[in-house]
């Protein structure tokens, strides 16, 4: 009915520390753009009203299964709901919806700034950007606390075979022996590279504090907030 759908749980996989991917098979094919999200019914409140939590779609359009990635939060309604799910069980959701999608075209570089599981919608967005007949560079700045929080490294390595794509990974906590990524938060690195970017469009997703900090700093340096910055605060 309308934009309400149901899907069957077909599997789950631990990706990193506290990060789990759930896979679903929807009853009907879903039309969506990379970057959009689903609103999942994870329970009811004391008054019987539905409790909803939103999760970006981590799988590409046309894939046989839908993928959602969560950072489990102890006691969180969404985390408790998903932790209890078993293969074969059913979930109810609305969507896909949301406006955090790629512009229809880009005049220059495409820059993704993500933290934690905010990376979830970025991989399919990267694929869409790299498949376009555009000449601009595509860059990813991805920040996590520790190496135990990282995942999708092989997938990013595969995309890095495309000469247009470059990924820069950052750890704000302890860097392990042999770490060849960056240290600290992503904001200073993005700002340091700003002068070499050509007509960039920024897609910022993840921690709300990162988004506010980096967006504000970009605007202070002359980036047009309405024309050049897209953002999506990402939780759970």
- Measure the CA–CA gap between 125 and 59, rounded to whole angstroms: 10
Q: Is the CB of residue 204 less than 8 Å from the CB of residue 229? A: yes
Whose CA is closest to 70, among 23, 7, 4, 128?
23
In a domain, 103, yes or no: no
Give me the pLDDT at residue 1, please: 45
**DSSP of 145-199:** SSGGG---HHHHHHHTTSTTEEEEEEESSPPPTT--SEES-HHHHHHHHGGG-SS
Q: What is the residue range of 49's domain?
A: 4-97
pTM of this prediction? 0.94
- Rounded to the nearest angstrom, the gap between the alpha carbon of residue 63 and the centroid of all alpha carbons in its chain is 17
Segment 78-118, tens digit of pLDDT: 999 999 999 999 999 998 999 999 999 999 999 999 999 99
The CA distances from residue 58 to 14, 15, 26, in Å, are 14, 13, 14
Look at residues 97, 132, 159 and tell me which one is the last residue of a structural domain. 97
Question: What residues in the chain have per-residue pLDDT under 70?
Answer: 1-2, 234-236
Same domain, 90 and 122: no
Look at residues 36, 67, 97 and tell me which one is the last residue of a structural domain. 97
Give me the pLDDT at residue 93, please: 92
Give me the pLDDT at residue 236, please: 36
Give me the pLDDT at residue 49, please: 84
Same domain, 115 and 212: yes
Same domain, 84 and 121: no
Give me the pLDDT at residue 235, please: 56
Same domain, 145 and 227: yes
- Residue 26: CATH number of its domain: 2.40.30.10
Same domain, 81 and 118: no
In a domain, 118, yes or no: yes
């Amino acid at each position: 009915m309308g934009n309400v759908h149901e899907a069957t749980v077909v599997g789950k996989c631990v990706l990193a520390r506290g990060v789990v991917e759930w896979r679903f098979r929807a009853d009907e094919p879903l039309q969506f753009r990379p970057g959009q999200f689903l609103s999942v019914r994870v329970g009811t409140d004391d008054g019987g009203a539905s409790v909803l939590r939103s999760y970006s779609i981590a799988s590409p359009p046309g894939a046989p299964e839908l993928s959602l990635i969560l950072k489990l939060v102890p006691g969180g309604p969404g985390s408790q709901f998903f932790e209890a799910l078993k293969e074969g069980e059913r979930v109810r959701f609305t969507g896909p919806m949301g406006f955090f999608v790629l512009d229809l075209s880009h005049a220059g570089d495409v820059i993704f700034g993500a933290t934690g599981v905010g990376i979830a919608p970025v991989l399919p967005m990267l694929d869409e950007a790299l498949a376009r007949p555009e000449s601009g560079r595509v860059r990813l700045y991805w920040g996590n606390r520790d190496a135990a929080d990282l995942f999708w490294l092989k997938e990013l390595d595969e995309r890095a075979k495309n000469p247009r794509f470059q990924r820069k990974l950052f750890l704000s906590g302890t860097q392990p022996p042999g770490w060849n990524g960056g240290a600290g938060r992503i904001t200073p690195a993005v700002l340091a590279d700003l002068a070499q970017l050509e007509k960039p469009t920024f897609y910022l997703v993840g921690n709300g504090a990162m988004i506010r900090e980096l967006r504000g700093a970009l605007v202070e340096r002359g980036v047009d907030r309405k024309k050049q910055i897209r953002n999506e605060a990402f939780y759970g």
